[in-house]
Amino acid sequence: MILFTNQELRLHLPSNAVDDVANLQGMLDNSEKDFLKPRLGASLYDRLSKQYASIEPSVFCDAVGDGTYVNDPWNELLLYAQRMIVNDAMAQNIEKQALSVNGSGINVASSNDYAVATDKQIAQGKESYRQSAMTSLNNLLSLLEGWAKEVNTPMPIDTAVDGAEGSTPSDGSNQGSSSEGTDEGTDSGKDDAAETEKKQHEAIEEIVTLWQESKYYYYHRDLLFPTCESLQPYLDIYGNRDKFVRLIPDMLFIQSEYLEEAFGEDFIPRLLQADENDKMLKKARQLVAAYLKERTSVINFDKLTRSTAHNDAITVRESIHRLLKKEEAEKQAKLDAAKAESAAEGSSSSSTSNASSASSSDNKGDSEGYDNNQEGSRIFVTPILC
């Protein structure tokens, strides 16, 4: 459990008038197990529960009140998680909360201090709690997604502290300086800040590592839309990461049964390695989005929208075929050019070889030795031989 006190409950439900939060523990526990745990994954949920057990609830509430909870990633994660489960628990049980069961049967709960809520007010309250729960869920997933990107993005090493330390004279000549105390205080402050930042980064790394075991981990390597952020420009889901995860089975089916069948098995692997600005990748994403509008039940589209999406899918599919044919033609042209160039080089090499052979033959004839007993031959004797 990650919520035990009324003070914590009132952080997320100011209208709470329950004397003891234990009366709601069953509802909260169900929301933790059914709504929160699948989003975090079992490992991260268990680790968050252990972290909550190690802190003092009143200290946590004070940190939320003064805003210092953001200095501890675990406290920030805990706040979003509590907000999720409180609103989900109320949305799931608001009708039951309006009823009272006793020996005489089931009655409507009432008192002298409160008037009984109307059916319309209960329905409006339920919808409000549900929306708050989904907003909190999206905020929690956005927080985790941001941390995951931070951890997976190489960061430059800050050498400012090392430079400050290296500027201290090695001969101890600064002894007796009037600024000694100030320098020590500055160095101490930098060390504390560096230590705090290090602890925050370590906590974020641990959280992200544990979250990777959840199916809600932000990056899905086998999809042309690996993140909710990449899908948003093609299909407006209002940045709803929960809805994005529920669309994953549809997207996998579309890729394997529609795109691979139409364009070949190598089409998807190629695009998974493509740059974000690749024209073919953009066309393929448009096609997946059109198929989603046409077939998914996760989002309710009217008949006109689905019909338009069907026509769009046909148009984009033909466009991709044209691009593939163009690429194939360009590739073939390059191969033909390479073959022609190779043949030309071979012909030039052969001509050069023949010319070289002829020249070698001529040079051989010119360099033959003296042949005796030939008509017109003369012998010359140098004076030294006389």
pLDDT in tens, 35-66: 999 999 999 999 999 999 999 999 999 999 99
For residues 84 and 32, is the Cβ–Cβ distance under 8 A?
no
Residue 105 Rama label (left phi>0; alpha psi -120 to 50; beta) = left
Q: How many CA atoms lie within 13 A of 100 on its CB side?
A: 9
E strand or H helix that includes residue 126:
helix 119-152
- Mean pLDDT over 233-242 rounds to 89
Classify residue 153 by its DSSP letter. Answer: S
CA end-to-end span of the chain, whole Å?
A: 127
95 to 100, 120, 136, 350, 384: CA distances (angstroms): 11, 11, 22, 93, 137
**What pLDDT score was predicted for residue 372?**
60
Higher pLDDT, residue 95 or 234: 234
Higher pLDDT, residue 171 or 140: 140
pLDDT in tens, 322-380: 999 998 999 888 888 888 888 887 776 666 665 555 555 555 555 555 556 666 655 55
What distance in Å separates the CA atoms of residue 15 and residue 121, rounded to the nearest whole number?
15
pLDDT in tens, 246-268: 999 999 999 999 999 999 999 99
Q: Which long-range contacts (CB under 8 A, 24 or more apart) does 265-270 make?
A: 268/224
Locus of tokens 């004839």: 365
Calculate the CA 269 to chain-centre distance: 18
Higher pLDDT, residue 289 or 361: 289
Classify residue 179 by its DSSP letter. Answer: T
State the maximum Cα–Cα separation within the chain, in Å, rounded to a whole number.
157
What distance in Å separates the CA atoms of residue 323 and residue 326, rounded to the nearest whole number?
5
**What pLDDT score was predicted for residue 120?**
86
**What pLDDT score was predicted for residue 166?**
43
Q: Which of 237, 242, 320, 322 is nearest to 286 (CA)?
A: 320
At residue 149, does pLDDT exceed 90? no
In sequence order, the 6+-apart residues with CB closer than 8 A to the CB of 40 are: 48, 81, 211, 214, 216
What distance in Å separates the CA atoms of residue 140 and residue 88, rounded to the nearest whole number?
14
At residue 164, does pLDDT exceed 60? no
At residue 17, does pLDDT exceed 80? no
43: helix, coil or strand?
helix
Exposure string of 143-166, with b = 16+ CB inside 10 Å and e = fewer, is: bbbebbeeeeeeeeeeeeeeeeee
**What pLDDT score was predicted for residue 342?**
83
For residues 89 and 96, is the Cβ–Cβ distance under 8 A?
no
**What pLDDT score was predicted for residue 311?**
96
What distance in Å separates the CA atoms of residue 31 and residue 275, rounded to the nearest whole number?
40
Q: What DSSP letter does each residue of 224-272 carry, written as one string?
A: SS-SHHHHTTTS--TT-HHHHHHHHHHHHHIIIIIIHHHH-TTHHHHHH
At residue 90, does pLDDT exceed 80? yes
For residues 320 and 280, is the Cβ–Cβ distance under 8 A?
yes
247 to 14, 70, 146, 271: CA distances (angstroms): 35, 32, 21, 20
Q: Of 50-59, 72-81, 276-285, 367-376, which gets the smallest average pLDDT?
A: 367-376
Q: Which of 21-25, 33-37, 168-172: highest mean pLDDT?
A: 33-37
**What pLDDT score was predicted for residue 369?**
55
Q: What are phi and psi of 46, to 5 degrees?
A: -65, -40
Classify residue 106 by its DSSP letter. Answer: E
- Mean pLDDT over 108-129 rounds to 78
Q: Which of 147, 121, 152, 39 is nearest to 88 (CA)?
A: 39
**What pLDDT score was predicted for residue 251?**
96
Q: Of 81-90, 228-237, 347-356, which gets the smallest average pLDDT?
A: 347-356
**What pLDDT score was predicted for residue 13?**
87
Higher pLDDT, residue 234 or 192: 234
In sequence order, the 6+-apart residues with CB closer than 8 A to the CB of 143 are: 76, 77, 80
**What pLDDT score was predicted for residue 218?**
86
What distance in Å separates the CA atoms of residue 289 and residue 283, rounded to the nearest whole number?
10
In sequence order, the 6+-apart residues with CB closer than 8 A to the CB of 318 are: none
Locus of tokens 């974000």: 276
**What pLDDT score was predicted for residue 374?**
62
What pTM does this model have? Answer: 0.69
Q: Of 161-165, 231-235, 327-331, which gets the smallest average pLDDT?
A: 161-165
- Mean pLDDT over 298-321 rounds to 95
Mean of per-residue pLDDT scores for the chain: 82
**What pLDDT score was predicted for residue 380?**
52
